[in-house]
Amino acid sequence: MSTGTMPPLNAATRYCAVWGHPIRHSASPAMQNAGLAALGLDWRYLAFDVRPEQLATALEGARAMRFIGLNLTVPHKLLALELVDVLDESARIWGAVNTIRFEGRDEAGIWRPLAAFADALPESVRSHGFNTDAGALATSLREDLGIALAGARVLLLGAGGAGRAAALKLASENVACLYLVNRTITKATELASEIQTRHPGLRVQVGYPTETVDLVINATSYGLKPGDRSPLEGADFRLTQTGAVYDMIYRPAETPLLRAAQAAGCRTANGLGMLLHQGADALEIWTGQPAPRAIMRAALERNIYGV
Ligand code: ATR
């Protein structure tokens, strides 16, 4: 597929956007605009710094202006659960909304994506919330590390928003056992009991495994900042106990955890693949067309690593 060029901005240009607070360092506009250009769409993807207390107002604005769709990032993913008109199964199951599609009612009374309305935009519009993060994690683990989750033993670090969605996804993919570790232990305990209730057959344990595992996933934000170390430093767990390590952090490309894992001989991957697939899946939800993933990946790598 060609990388394409975007038509100049004009009065018929349609809009998507990512909202977060802060948002300045988001790589999504680079990735999504590359995807839109390759698809030859007269659309643009923008980024806005939206405060959480103004999320509802901003959503009303986007609906009134007939935006095609939105991505939401920190701190909006949980708040949006209460604000969208319809929740897709994915958002309900994973407990967060990272993608919104605006939909209009056609003449037959059927709700269709706003992308399907060319000239006359519909009078009544609703917001439909999805979650593409959890599926993107599984896709990236399979593609980047060759991991089949069914039957795998996994140590998951982090029980915040990202950790919770990852744990629920791993459980639904029938991992054999799940070890949960979090700085604030009560959060790991609460998450473990939630998962145990939903998946009674799964072995869930709070704390480090003594046995070997197939995969360690870092879903904490520790490793993002200069000066951060590996979240496993000083832990009762050696990297020789795992075959692979996945760090959801993608900036820096190589966190102290990934460096240590490579030194220990593990297969490693950072979170760029997850970022790519959550965005590409969102683009497909808005357009109904296959997303140009290779082009979007190249745009991400250029934006984040300058390569
Ligand atoms: P996200 O949506 O990115 O998951 P979050 O819900 O704020 O953001 O969760 C951040 C995660 O990183 C949590 O697991 C947090 O641990 P706590 O629950 O104890 O706060 C973890 N985290 C953040 N800073 C950390 C640090 N310095 N050391 C270890 N874990 C850290």
CA of 295 to the centre of ligand 1 (A): 32
pTM for the complete prediction? 0.95
Residues near 193 by beta carbon (within 8 Å), at least 6 away in sequence: none
With beta carbons less than 8 A apart as the criterion, state whether 180 and 205 touch: yes
Active site residue 77: yes
CA of 163 to the centre of ligand 1 (A): 9
Ligand 1 atom closest to residue 159's alpha carbon, by position in its atom list: 14
Mind listing the pLDDT tens digit for each residue in 213-233?
999 999 999 999 999 999 999
CA of 3 to the centre of ligand 1 (A): 37
Q: What are phi and psi of 205, to 5 degrees?
A: -135, 135
CA of 129 to the centre of ligand 1 (A): 25
Mind listing the pLDDT tens digit for each residue in 84-136?
999 999 999 998 999 999 999 999 999 999 999 988 889 999 999 999 999 99
- Domains of the chain: residue spans and CATH: 14-131+276-305 (3.40.50.10860), 135-272 (3.40.50.720)
Q: Whose Cα sits closest to atom 7 in ligand 1?
A: 160
What pLDDT score was predicted for residue 2? 72
Residues near 117 by beta carbon (within 8 Å), at least 6 away in sequence: 104, 106
Ligand 1 lining (C-beta closer than 6 Å): 74, 158-163, 182-184, 187, 220-222, 231
Helix then strand count (H, E) for the chain reads 9, 13
Q: Whose Cα sits closest to atom 3 in ligand 1?
A: 162
- Which residues of the chain fall short of a pLDDT of 50? none
Give the other-Cβ count within 10 Å of 143's Cβ: 14
Q: How far apart are the first and last CA of the chain?
A: 20
Q: What are phi and psi of 116, to 5 degrees?
A: -80, -10
Ligand 1 atom closest to residue 162's alpha carbon, by position in its atom list: 4
Name the catalytic one among 77, 169, 187, 225: 77
pLDDT over 70, % of the chain: 100
Q: What are phi and psi of 119, to 5 degrees?
A: -95, -70
203 three-state secondary structure:
strand
d(CA 114, CA 117): 5
With beta carbons less than 8 A apart as the criterion, state whether 71 and 279 touch: yes
CA 46, chain centre distance (Å): 18
With beta carbons less than 8 A apart as the criterion, state whether 202 and 195 touch: yes
Q: Whose Cα sits closest to atom 25 in ligand 1?
A: 222
